[in-house]
A and B are shown apart, each in its own frame.
Chain A
Amino acid sequence: MNHEFNRHKPIYKQIMEHICQDIVRGTYEHGDKLPSVRDFAVQVGVNANTIQRVYQELERDGIVESKRGQGTFITENEERINVLKEEMKKEIVQRFITDMMKMGFTYHEMMTTIEEEAKNDDSS
């Protein structure tokens, strides 16, 4: 994970988002082991307490499971991962819709543009 953090947003949330994106993208698969808190902290360049919090929040959301003495793992529950995919998809689409509406575009206009883009992408 090599990127600059946005300093106006909580770092733990940004790291959570990154891990979730990696899961959706398939970089992490269900059952994969995450790095230890310390290793992850050094790798990303943040405080170990921040990573601790990331793992705790992800565990509360059912996305990871910590096994005593073994570490933290992506959940084996595929259903949960599918839900996560849906959640992330919806979130991005909703953000897109809000932005477009702020500029006064209608749903119809959005749909037309998306269809055009999809066509262009297919033909290229």
Chain B
Amino acid sequence: MIQVNQVSKSFLTRKALSDCRVTFEQGKITGVIGENGSGKTTLLKIIAGLLKPTKGTVLIDGKHVTRRICQRLAFLHDQDYFYWYFTVGELIRYYDAVYDDFNKEKAETMLLFMNLREGQKINHLSKGNLTRLKMVVTLARDVPYIILDEPFLGLDPMVRKSIIKSMLQFIDLSKQTLIMSTHEVNEVDLILDDVVLLKRGQVIAHQSIEKIREYEQKDVVTWMEDMYQSV
């Protein structure tokens, strides 16, 4: 379980998050949604121990988050951060050497699934294939927590579909918990359990998607727009 307690974050004079309180339950896929600049990436980075909150605390399984949480948490950045001169195979071996929890067999299965070949050079990969590769090295780690920051940014629908499929195939919700940010919620609403809605650095709602459909008879996008207007 991930508990975010009264977390605020300022960058110099700009307030990115203010007084965020939210709990992410075990074994669920939660989407962190909201317009650009609402604080999604900042919140995820704080949970992953990559940023320190100005105020408040984050607890994962009851323990305070530090940078060392990366042993139990895999984080997929929205930016590219690979050694461009590596081949796909070299990157897999690099991850295997760096992370004790890296499951090389799973990575190789995923490469096949994603139609990637070990000999391909990273700087020759298309944007779609680069995202596929990022997904491979992130999901191939046997960790209890996975955080994906805007995994679908700038991808065409075909690639998006194959990546969503790989998530369904390779994430084990009986052992893993997933949080992902996206501003294209209508692309992923079928695979989410819950949504956390951010507006101007605040958590304005946390709801189960099936409940939104069942009790409000709304799709998630309409619900989000209604919430934005009412708060």
A contact residues vs B (CB 8 Å cutoff): 5, 7-13, 38, 41-42, 45-50
Contacts and interface: CB of A to CB of B under 8 A. Distances in A.
B211 to A, nearest CB: 8
Given A45-B190, A46-B190, A49-B27, A9 B217 contact: yes
Contacts of A13: 214
28 contacts: A5-B190, A7-B186, A7-B189, A7-B219, A7-B220, A8-B218, A8-B219, A9-B213, A9-B214, A9-B217, A10-B213, A10-B214, A11-B190, A11-B210, A11-B213, A12-B210, A38-B168, A42-B165, A45-B161, A45-B164, A45-B168, A45-B190, A45-B191, A47-B168, A47-B190, A47-B193, A49-B28, A49-B193
B22 interface: no
- Interface-centre pick from A9, A47, A50 (highest chain B CB count, 10 A): A47
Contacts of A9: 213-214, 217
Interface SS of chain B: helix, strand, loop or mixed? Answer: helix
A89 to B, nearest CB: 25
- Across the A-B interface, give the 5 residue pairs with the lowest CB-CB distance, nearest first: A7-B219, A10-B214, A10-B210, A42-B168, A47-B191
B213 A8 contact: yes
B65 interface: no
Interface of B: 27-29, 161, 164-165, 168-169, 173, 186, 189-193, 210, 213-214, 217-220
Contacts of B217: 8-9
Contacts of B186: 7
Given A7-B189, A12-B210, A48 B219 contact: no
Contacts of A50: 190, 210
A38 B28 contact: no
